[in-house]
Amino acid sequence: MSVRQNIRDFFHGAAYGAYERELRMQAAELNDMFLLLCYMEVVGLPNPATLYLLDVYPYILEQFHLWHKRMGMDRSPLGNLPCC
Amino acid sequence: MTQISQMGSLLDKKVLFFGGKGGVGKTTCASATALAASHAGKRVLLVSTDPAHSTSDIFEREIGPEPVELLPNLWGLEIDGALESQRYVANVKTQIKGLFGDHILKEANKQIDLAASMPGAEEMALFDRIGGLIRGEDTRFDLIVFDTAPTGHTLRLIRMPELMEAWIRALSRSRQAMLGIEQDDKTDPVMISLTDRLEGLREFRARLLSPRVSAFMLVLVAERLPIEETARAIEQLNEAGVNVGGLVVNRILPATSPDPFLQSRHAQEVVYLDEIDRRFAKHSRVRVPQLPSDVHGVKTLEALSEMLVPLARQP
């Protein structure tokens, strides 16, 4: 790795490092919002768009997995929504 | 007899709905109109969305979830919510089959089955099928005539594209916000699917609301409750922006009966007919007399369609 690259990384870290946690949190929150909108029925809220989300489910499965891990739960907390 | 002045032009529409209170003769009127249009050279699909299908009774033959040819230029279709939802789910499962690994597919299929068993899934599948028909996915037909379920149910269905559009839009905004931070939304499969849905819904709504494409016909009899329900339906259709094509006042009793019972019924009917003319003056109306026997079989239907659409065959 060149010195130049090192210097660039240093300044990048100095400038954004402090915000990284914040940005990650924000991204996670937006993720959760989307998940909630997709899985509203699982938490007991009616969702008129359920059928139109069926083909999207496989794509967000992994996201769901990351969510329950992040929330400190090893397994899916929703019995009727199996995960791992 | 007041005639529906634009009946001829009604047959030039792409989508006609027949609605009204239960038992006023929606199926009969829808069938007769479909028959008239087929005589006029249109390729017509008559669709029943009422869970209690009766088109098969009128045409005296089995009609199923796929269009069947009943007469030259006339096809019939009976849509069933439960069946549509099964079909929808099966379709999604085949769609995703090639895209994912076994593990994900197993979990995803569990979720899909769960979602499809939720209340409302059947109605939604029905809505999706109707949407496809209204968008003109089946190019075999020039005109689609819907024999709908009683008014309340149908009006809900008509408002659904708007509601769904708002939902999907909210979802895709949420997805967009989420992706904005790290990814491009043009290549995201979820975003692509949502955008497709949104476009489909927009087209559905545009065709439903276009007076050139669609019209809603209201069937009633000259009695208190059907009149009130028709007034409410017109109000709600106006609110939703759906074009009211006209009114069919069905089963009018003959004036010349010597029977005192029928005479007294007729006298009461005249009052209601006046009220109908007064309250619905803005809309075209056609009066159909009570027939000496039930309408079933093509013969009686033909007689009725002559009465219903006197102007349809004029050039």
Sign of the C-alpha dihedral computed for residues B219, B223, B228 and B229 taken in this order: negative
CA–CA separation, B26 vs B3, rounded Å?
18
The 3-class secondary structure across chain A, one letter per residue, is CCHHHHHHHHHHHHHHHHHHHHHHHHHHHHHHHHHHHHCHHHHCCCCCCHHHHHHHHHHHHHHHHHHHHHCCCCCCCCCCCCCC
How many other β-carbons are positioned within 10 Å of the β-carbon of residue B4? 23
Asked if the structure places residue B197 within a domain, the reply is no
CA–CA separation, B124 vs B89, rounded Å?
12
Asked if the structure places residue B178 within a domain, the reply is no
Residue B50 a catalytic site member: yes
Nearest C-alpha of chain A: how many angstroms from B251? 39
Q: Which chain A positions have a beta carbon within 8 Å of B125's beta carbon?
A: 51
Q: Residues B53-66: what's their mean pLDDT?
A: 90
**Number of independent structural domains in chain B:** 1
Number of residues assigned to chain A: 84
Predicted confidence (pLDDT) at residue B2 exceeds the cutoff of 60: no
Please compute Rg for chain A using Cα positions: 18
Read off the pLDDT band of B101 (50, 70, 90): confident
Two structure tokens written together for B77: 């279709």
CA distances in angstroms from A12 to A18, B1, B179, B181, B304, listed in the order given: 10, 84, 22, 17, 81
Asked if the structure places residue A14 within a domain, the reply is no
Q: Residues A46-65: what's their mean pLDDT?
A: 86
Give the range of the structural domain holding residue B137, as residue numbers without chain letter. Answer: 7-80+130-154+213-308
Asked if the structure places residue A65 within a domain, the reply is yes
- Can you give the pLDDT at residue B314? 34
Percent of chain B with pLDDT over 90: 55
Per DSSP (E only), the strands in chain B are 15-20, 44-48, 68-71, 74-78, 143-147, 214-221, 244-252, 285-289
Contacts 24+ apart (CB under 8 A), B179-186: B181/A23, B181/A26, B181/A27, B181/A30, B182/A27
Asked if the structure places residue B241 within a domain, the reply is yes
Name the DSSP class of B254.
P
Q: Residues B29-41: what's their mean pLDDT?
A: 92
Read off the pLDDT band of A82 (50, 70, 90): low
Nearest C-alpha of chain B: how many angstroms from A48? 7
**Number of independent structural domains in chain A:** 1
Two structure tokens written together for A35: 């998940």
- Can you give the pLDDT at residue B228? 95
Asked if the structure places residue A26 within a domain, the reply is yes
Predicted confidence (pLDDT) at residue B271 exceeds the cutoff of 90: yes
Tell me what ipTM this predicted complex has. 0.76
CB pair distance less than 8 Å for A33 and B85: no
A-B contacts (CB, under 8 Å): 96
Asked if the structure places residue B194 within a domain, the reply is no
Look up the pTM and report it.
0.85
- Can you give the pLDDT at residue B196? 93
Asked if the structure places residue B72 within a domain, the reply is yes
- Can you give the pLDDT at residue B114? 82
Q: Residues B273-295: what's their mean pLDDT?
A: 90
CA–CA separation, B89 vs B111, rounded Å?
11
Per residue in A6-28, pLDDT tens? 998 888 888 887 788 888 888 88
Nearest C-alpha of chain B: how many angstroms from A6? 23
Asked if the structure places residue B298 within a domain, the reply is yes
Read off the pLDDT band of B51 (50, 70, 90): confident
With beta carbons less than 8 A apart as the criterion, state whether B148 and B26 touch: yes
| Closest CA relative to residue B68, chosen from B56, B58, B80 | B56
Asked if the structure places residue B104 within a domain, the reply is no
CB pair distance less than 8 Å for A50 and B124: yes
CA–CA separation, B77 vs B140, rounded Å?
13
- Can you give the pLDDT at residue B311? 42
Q: Residues A57-61: what's their mean pLDDT?
A: 86
Asked if the structure places residue A30 within a domain, the reply is yes
What are the φ/ψ torsions at residue A6 (nearest 5 degrees)?
Answer: -60, -45
Q: Which residues pair with B214 in a beta bridge?
A: B15
| Closest CA relative to residue A47, chosen from A60, A62, A34 | A34
CB pair distance less than 8 Å for B170 and A37: yes
- Can you give the pLDDT at residue B315? 31
CA angle B133, B69, B290 (to 5 degrees): 90
What is the average pLDDT value for chain B, to the nearest integer? 88
Predicted confidence (pLDDT) at residue B23 exceeds the cutoff of 70: yes
Asked if the structure places residue B98 within a domain, the reply is no
Give the range of the structural domain holding residue A33, as residue numbers without chain letter. Answer: 22-84
With beta carbons less than 8 A apart as the criterion, state whether B134 and B144 touch: yes
The dihedral formed by the CA atoms of B240, B245, B251 and B256, expressed in degrees to the nearest 10:
130
Contacts 24+ apart (CB under 8 A), B165-172: B165/B198, B165/B201, B165/B202, B165/B205, B167/A47, B167/A48, B167/A49, B168/A49, B168/A52, B168/B194, B168/B197, B168/B198, B168/B201, B169/B198, B170/A37, B171/A34, B171/A37, B171/A38, B171/A49, B171/A53, B172/B198
Secondary structure element (H or E) that encloses residue B203, with its range: helix B189-209
CB pair distance less than 8 Å for A48 and B100: no
Q: Which residues pair with B246 in a beta bridge?
A: B217
Largest CA distance in chain B: 84
Q: Tell me which residue in A33, A50, A57 faces B121 most closely, judged by beta carbons.
A: A50
Predicted confidence (pLDDT) at residue B94 exceeds the cutoff of 70: yes
Asked if the structure places residue A7 within a domain, the reply is no
CA distances in angstroms from A38 to A12, A49, A63, A74, listed in the order given: 36, 8, 11, 21
Secondary structure element (H or E) that encloses residue B34, with its range: helix B26-39
Name the DSSP class of B253.
P
Residue B52 sits in a domain whose CATH number is 3.40.50.300
Selected residue of A32, A53, A62 to mutate for chain B interface (largest B Cβ count, 10 A) = A53
Per residue in B195-253, pLDDT tens? 999 999 999 999 999 999 999 999 999 999 999 999 999 999 999 999 998 999 999 98
**Which residue in this structure is represented by tokens 């027949």?**
B18
